[in-house]
Amino acid sequence: MGLLRASEIKLRDPFVLPVAAERVYYLYGTTDKNPWGGHPGEGFDTYRSRDLIHWEGPFPAFRPEPGFWGTECFWAPEVHAWRGRYYMFATFRSGQMPLGTQILVADHPVGPFRPHGPVPVTPAGCACLDGTLFVARDGAPWMIFSRDWPAIAVGRYSALPLREDLGAAAGPAVDLFPVNAAPWVRPPPWQKARDAKGLPPCYVADGAFPFRSPAGELCLLFSSWNETNYATGIARSTSGELAGPWTCDATAFFPDNGGHAMIFAGFDGQIYLALHQPNDPPPEHPRFIAFNLGRPMLTPS
């Protein structure tokens, strides 16, 4: 198995898990050849690297076993270390159930990951996607996720308290903010087809990821469409807590057809932003870019 560079890996929605004990980075993302609705879901792969430049893989991290509820739209896996095990948050859909985030579990970052429960953790009956783990200041785990088109015309971000074992919700979901609260957000390219049918404007809420600035400010990376293409911006909680209120930066800090971003700490002491670019296939690749937590600063990697 040869080594690959990021530009040779076709992958959307990148998520990097640094494992200090191994001094290895694990890369996850949407890796099905055709991940869209109407095509059977294959699973998720992972890649590993010691330098963020040369990647080994792919390794099969998750393959659905017979009876697994999800049949298509295998999207955006994230893997988080929690209480000595590794938990994958990933989106699936079936003919009977809308998009939902399922939690899977494994004893090692390579897997194999298996369902941690029988159904998605996100609320039933509405399209929910792109779940990510958030740990509050009191140590309680939450899932932040998108409630998105086509179930509703205006996508929004919500948060759900989780049980300590991450096996199920520990209470009802609470809304954070609608994606079109950001001044830069516009309807996506397919709005023209909706206009022809007399449908209202839709606004897509994609790929949330929480982080705190050095001053303790709670921020949320998120992606949607701007005037020209896919983009990534930042929302900020003025209280420093999930309850908000939330404000959105006036402009996208990454406006150049890339997104579904997250940040991670490198073994070199640098903070990195990971996102996929371009957004429109083919082909999408992961990118890793230097990131300043106090004031977003992007330099090409």
**Range of 23's domain?**
3-290
Residue 22 lies in a domain: yes
Residue 44 lies in a domain: yes
Residue 192 lies in a domain: yes
Number of domains composing the chain: 1
DSSP states along the chain? --EE-GGG---EEEEEEEETTTTEEEEEEE--SS-STTS----EEEEEESSSSSEEEEEEEE-PPTT-S--EEEEEEEEEEETTEEEEEEEEE-SSS--EEEEEEESSTT---EESSSS-SSPTTS-EEEEEEEE-TTS-EEEEEEE-TTTSSB-EEEEEEB-TTSSSBSS--EEEEEGGGSTT-B--TTHHHHHHTTPPP-B--EEEEEEE-TT--EEEEEEEE-SSSEEEEEEEETTSSTT--EEE-SS-SB-SS-EEEEEEE-TTS-EEEEEEE-SSSS--EEEEEE--SSS---B--
pLDDT given at position 280: 85
pLDDT given at position 151: 76
Band the pLDDT of 215: cuts 50, 70, 90: confident
Single out the residue of 64, 52, 62 nearest to residue 26, CA to CA.
Answer: 52
pLDDT (mean) for 96-109: 96
Q: 137-189 pLDDT, tens per residue? A: 999 999 999 998 777 899 999 999 999 999 999 999 999 999 999 999 999 99
Residue 253 lies in a domain: yes
Residue 24 lies in a domain: yes
Band the pLDDT of 37: cuts 50, 70, 90: confident
CATH number of the domain where residue 40 is located: 2.115.10.20
Q: Could you tell me the pTM of the whole model?
A: 0.95
pLDDT given at position 296: 64
pLDDT given at position 240: 93
- Residue 67: CB partners within 8 Å, gap ≥ 6? none
Whole-angstrom Cα distance, residue 78 to residue 105? 11
Q: 239-281 pLDDT, tens per residue? A: 999 999 999 999 999 999 999 999 999 999 999 999 999 998 7
Residue 299 lies in a domain: no
Per the prediction, the chain carries an average pLDDT of: 94
How far is the CA of 83 from the CAs of 28, 72, 201, 249, in angstroms? 20, 30, 43, 35
Whole-angstrom Cα distance, residue 204 to residue 25? 30
Residue 241 lies in a domain: yes
Please determine, for residue 73, whether its predicted confidence score (pLDDT) is greater than 90: yes
pLDDT given at position 301: 40
pLDDT given at position 61: 98
Residue 272 lies in a domain: yes
